[in-house]
Amino acid sequence: MEYTVQKLGSLAGVSTRTLRYYDEIGILKPARINSSGYRIYGQKEVDRLQQILFYRELGVSLDRIKEIVTSPSFDGAAALREHREKLLEKKEQLELLIANVDKTIALTEGRMEMSDKEKFEGFKKKMIDENEEKYGKEIRQKYGDDTVDKSNAKLQNMTQAQHDEVTALAEQITVTLAEAFKTGDPADELAQKAAELHKQWLCYYWNEYSKEAHAGLAQVYVDDERFTAYYDKEQPGTAAFLKDAIHIYTGMKR
């Protein structure tokens, strides 16, 4: 299959200008130039463009990308695995930031206090991490454990922040559920709110939410005595009540 600039551009979702620029900086040369000077791309170029876009997405500079894709000893699979690693790191970064946002929201809604210094912790940490990413290997060889410690501290902070949110949510569920239980009706507005909160709580642990899984878990709450004990702690029958509420909420009767 052969492509002109526009064909390849629309295939890959980039502009023709971008393709010409990539040609200009020598990162993606067309397979050949036809008699009228048109750029003609082939299969190899499609694959290469894909790789380029992968790395670009990561925020890797075109210069670095050039090094990567023009290297003759280029191990595609290894590069992709590395690529994957970085994406995961970026995801962690994001989660850290989200935690920071949550904290700030909590602040504006009263309660917590945050010193000026604390306010910028998230950003500073980020910068530290970026430095580590750049100079990581050297630093690690030189200072070893210190770096590892920092990384661990970050992780602890993250899970701490997340843990705080989850705990607050769990508390809210308990309260709402106790209120709802008094009505005795799992279809009642309050019980449905508890189910909704429970869904939110669940979403902290599950990447994918499905009604089936939610309903399934509710069943486990009744079937598994450890869960049952937790929910029935204050008021026996609460676990079963929650199960009913969730089954109604999800529309699953099983």
Name the one range near DNA by CB under 7 A: 6-14, 95-103, 108-116, 151-159.
Answer: 6-14
State how far the Cα of 197 lies from the Cα of 189, in Å rounded to an integer: 12
CB of 178 to a copy of itself, least distance (A): 24
Task: Sketch the per residue contact string, 37 through 76, with a copy of itself: x for CB under 8 A, - otherwise.
Answer: ---------x---x--xx--x------------------x
Residue identified by tokens 């890959």 is: 12
Burial class of residue 5, CB neighbours in 10 A (0-12, 13-18, 19+): buried
Residue 90 touching DNA (CB under 7 A): no
One residue of 31, 46, 58, 62 binding DNA per CB under 7 A: 62
Q: Which residues contact 5 (CB under 8 A, 6 or more apart)?
A: 16, 19, 20, 38, 39, 41
> If DSSP codes are grouped into helix, strand and coil, which group holds residue 40?
strand
- Give 139 or 213: the residue with its C-beta nearer to a copy of itself: 213
- Residue 2 contacts residue 46 (beta carbons within 8 Å): no
Name the one range near DNA by CB under 7 A: 59-67, 81-89, 124-132, 194-202.
Answer: 59-67
Q: Which long-range contacts (CB under 8 A, 24 or more apart) does 26-30 make?
A: 26/66, 26/70, 27/52, 27/62, 27/65, 27/66, 27/69, 27/70, 28/52
Residue 36 touching DNA (CB under 7 A): yes
One residue of 35, 108, 141, 207 binding DNA per CB under 7 A: 35
Which amino acid is located at 38 in the chain?
Answer: Y
Residue 69 touching DNA (CB under 7 A): no
From 48, 12, 57, 53, select the one nearest 30 (Cα to Cα). Answer: 48
One residue of 102, 132, 185, 196 binding a copy of itself per CB under 8 A: 102
Residue 214 phi, psi dihedral angles, 5° rounding = -60, -50
Work out what residue 143 binds among a copy of itself, DNA, none; the CB cut-off runs from 5 to 8 Å by kind: none
- Give 127 or 175: the residue with its C-beta nearer to DNA: 127
Residue 2 touching a copy of itself (CB under 8 A): no
State how far the Cα of 59 lies from the Cα of 89, in Å rounded to an integer: 13
Contacts to DNA by CB under 7 A: 4-7, 14-18, 20-21, 34-39, 56, 61-63
Contacts to a copy of itself by CB under 8 A: 1, 11-13, 46, 50, 53-54, 57, 76-77, 80-81, 83-84, 87-88, 90-91, 94-95, 97-98, 100-102, 104-105, 108-109, 116-117, 119-120, 123-124, 126-127, 159, 162, 204-208, 216, 219-220, 223-226
